[in-house]
Each structure stands twice: as C-alpha cells, then as structure tokens.
Amino acid sequence: MTRRPSQEELLDDFAAHVSPQKVAGYRLIGWDFIPGRREGVRVWDWEDKRSWIDCRTAGGVFNLGHRPPAIIEALKRGLEEADMGDHMLASGYRARLAKRLAELTPGDLQYTTFGASGGEAIDFAIKLARGYTGRSGVVSAVKGYHGHTGLALAATDEYGERWGPLAPGFRRVPFGDFAALSAAVDDNTAAVIMETIPATAGFTIPPDDWYPRIRKLCDERGVIMILDEVQAGLGRTGRLWAYEEWGVVPDIMVLGKGMSAATYPLSSATYRRPLQSFFDADAFAHLSSAGGSDLACITGLAMLDIISRPPFLQHVREMGDRFAAGFAGLREKHPAILKGWNQRGLMIGLIFANADCGPRLSRALAKRGVIAVFSGFNRHILQLMPPLIIQPEEVDEVLDALDGAIAEVGQDLSLT
Ligand SMILES: Cc1ncc(COP(=O)(O)O)c(C=O)c1O
C-alpha cells in the first residue's frame, strides 16, 4: 500500500510543481494547509486536525456548501447513464437545463449557450453582442472583474494591463457614474457589461437609478446590456438574480461558479430571444467541448431545483439579517477599525479603516477557524461569502471569530 503523504510534503510538492509564490503567500496569510475532508460549510486540513468555516466559497462555487448530498446523488445517478456528451450533438440534458433557466428568468431571456468557466461565458456574451450589433465597442467598470480569458480580461480592470496588448475596443468608467457611462457610449458601442454587484471591488452597491438608467440608455442606443451574475446570481443576494432588486432585465445574463453545484464545472450566458439571430448564418459560430457537458447539466439542474425554492431564498435573507445584526454590534464595539459594510443577503463586504486591515483580518480569522479573503481591488474590504446553507449557530461562530480577529488587528495597528 502506498503511504499517504503528509500535509507538509504536499505543500512542498505544490511549491515545487505548481506555485512556490502561492505557497509563500498562503504561509503569510495562515492558509498553509491542504484541504482534505470537506462537508457543508466546513473544510478540514489534510491531517484532519483543524477545520474552518468557508466564508470564501471560491466566490460562490460552494453556494450549497461542500459536497452537497443532493448533488452528489444526482452526479452518481448521472454517471450511471451519461458522460460529458458531445458538444456538437443535441443534448437532452442541455435542453432541459436551458429550458429551466428560461423559466426562472424574467422577460424574454430564452436561449442559453453554455461554457465551462465564467470567463468563457463572458467571452461568448461579448462575442454575441458584437455579432448581433455589428459594432465592436465595450464599456465596463473601473475595478470590474470578469475573468482571465481573452475578451473577459480586456473588460477586467488592472490584471489585463499587465500583459497587453489586449483586445481593442474596451473602455472603463467608474461604477455608478452614469454621466461617465453615457459619455463613453457611442455609435460603435456593442455592449455595456457590469458585474451586477462588483465582487472584487468589495461588493459595491450601485445607486438606485444606475441599472434602470443603463437599461434605458441601452434601449435608446441599440446597445446590449450584459450583467455578470457569476458571483451575485443564483440566490446569493436572497433573490434568485441580483438584478431583480433594480427591476431590470439584461439582454444577456452570465452565470458561472455556483452553476457547478460544487462538483462539475459549468457556466452559461442566457440571452433575449432576438439575439439568437447571431447563429442564423452559422449554427456552430461558438463552440466549447467542455461547455454544458451532460454531467454538468445534470448537477446544474439539481442545484437550480434547490436554490429556486422560496424557503431557500428566505433562509438566505434571514441569515443575512442575522449577520447584519451582529455587524452592528461589532461596529459599536470596534468603531476605530470597522467602518461599515456592503451587503445584500449573504454577499458581504466589511469595510475597515485602511488597506492593511484586509490581509491581516484574513490571517486573524484563519487562526480562529474562518476562511475569508480581502477584496483584490480594495484591500480595506473583507469579503464574506459563506455557503447559502449556513445555519444560525454557524453565523454566530463566524461573528465570534470576527470579534476576536478585529480586536487583534485593531491592537496590532493601534486602531482602538
Ligand atoms: C464576477 C466574475 N465574473 C467572471 C469571473 C470568471 O470566472 P472563471 O474564474 O470561472 O473564469 C469571476 C471569477 O472570479 C467573477 O468573479
């Protein structure tokens, strides 16, 4: 029998063959473990000695927690009858999932093209907007994040610039600044693309009229409105789709992460009926071998059945309220360091006094059994994205850990 390697050996292998830089970073932030057992809201280390509540969830991949039993069952049943499927052929699994997405979305969002990653679905959405309008310009947001693939990277802030030249035709405007946005739209604009609630920026909540005004502008100027719900969609905000809050319907809605149901990669771009003419000249104008694989559609459908139930969404809102009540107490106790929070349901960005706070809080929380990451584009914000299935006593456990972590970081930074 081969010996099970130790956690340190695996970390060394990871450093030697995947990324020494990442391992150095993990050590700094207190994440120098190899995930082993995982179940529900928790992840254990390789040696089963320590556990953490996962408040990162890989940005919503683990909306249903780790190894959700209903999804594991669906996948096992799926493996009895299916495999990845051939993406060039028709698929009953893809048909059923696309139909369900059409039923669950408002307006005439009707057709879905699937991918395997969020970036891939964003690339397709931009391609679709360009093909449909015959224009090339794309307007996105400063501090927006849409992935690391070609067109998605060009729409993303900061990362792209490091490895230019990027795809041409992209402009960025401050999120929430409608005057800047309307000035950036011209006769060659194909699409406006926004994360409905920008995640890497720290879950910025837009002004109330932001999306209604974008919708109106897009209608007037023949521009395609793309909403990236890769993190904000699928029940995260306590609504099935985050944009419902603003009473708008995008032309294209992009989903990823949580579509995997924690088990099988899947992303999607669901779009309004008229846009289907993009495929009139060539039904195979977009292809993805792993996109919308049969097994992913099986788990994706099982996931949608769970999260679209009204009591499930009600639970998300209740847990969000429980967190909010806890944050109010924490702000009263630690006013010099905790300045406020951005929140919709279980999409939470805690706002701290300065940019040193985020990384230090990630570390202080890891010591106390919680995994949470600071916002990449705004390090004074700590993201909390717990599994949507989190229970009241687990919310309290996270709040207790936060209390201790905030006190420790406040003391270290003399912010008391
Ligand atoms: C809002 C948003 N859009 C798109 C993506 C890209 O998804 P993926 O990493 O699956 O390509 C991400 C990933 O973090 C994201 O947060």
Write out the chain's pLDDT in tens, 416 residues.
689 999 999 999 999 999 999 999 999 999 999 999 999 999 999 999 999 999 999 999 999 999 999 999 999 999 999 999 999 999 999 999 999 999 999 999 999 999 999 999 999 999 999 999 999 999 999 999 999 999 999 999 988 778 788 999 999 999 999 999 999 999 999 999 999 999 999 999 999 999 999 999 999 999 999 999 999 999 999 999 999 999 999 999 999 999 999 999 999 999 999 999 999 999 999 999 999 999 999 999 999 999 999 999 999 999 999 999 999 999 999 999 999 999 999 999 999 999 999 999 999 999 999 999 999 999 999 999 999 999 999 999 999 999 999 999 999 999 98
Domain map of the chain by residue range? Answer: 7-68+310-412, 69-307
Q: Does 59 contact ligand 1 (Cβ within 6 A)?
A: yes
Q: Does 231 contact ligand 1 (Cβ within 6 A)?
A: yes
Q: CATH number of the domain at 7-68+310-412, out of 3.40.50.2000, 3.40.50.300, 3.90.1150.10, 3.40.50.1970?
A: 3.90.1150.10
Q: Which residues contact 21 (CB under 8 A, 6 or more apart)?
A: none
CB 261 within 8 A of CB 300: yes
The protein residue whose alpha carbon is closest to atom 2 in ligand 1 is 146
Distance of CA 344 to the CA centre of its chain: 14
Query: How much distance in Å is there from the Cα of 21 to the middle of ligand 1?
Result: 22
Q: Does 135 contact ligand 1 (Cβ within 6 A)?
A: no
Rounded to whole angstroms, how far apart are CA atoms 324 and 353? 19
What does each C-alpha distance from 366 to 219, 277, 357, 370 come to in angstroms? Answer: 47, 50, 14, 5
Q: What is the pTM of this model?
A: 0.98
Task: Give the dihedral sign, CA 87/99/253/182.
Answer: positive
| Amino acid identity, position 9 | E
- Listed residue (238, 247, 146, 240) closest to 192, CA to CA: 146
Rounded to whole angstroms, how far apart are CA atoms 41 and 72? 16
Length of the chain, in residues: 416
Query: How much distance in Å is there from the Cα of 120 to the middle of ligand 1?
Result: 9
Q: Does 122 contact ligand 1 (Cβ within 6 A)?
A: yes
Domain 69-307: state its class. Answer: alpha beta
Q: Does 118 contact ligand 1 (Cβ within 6 A)?
A: yes
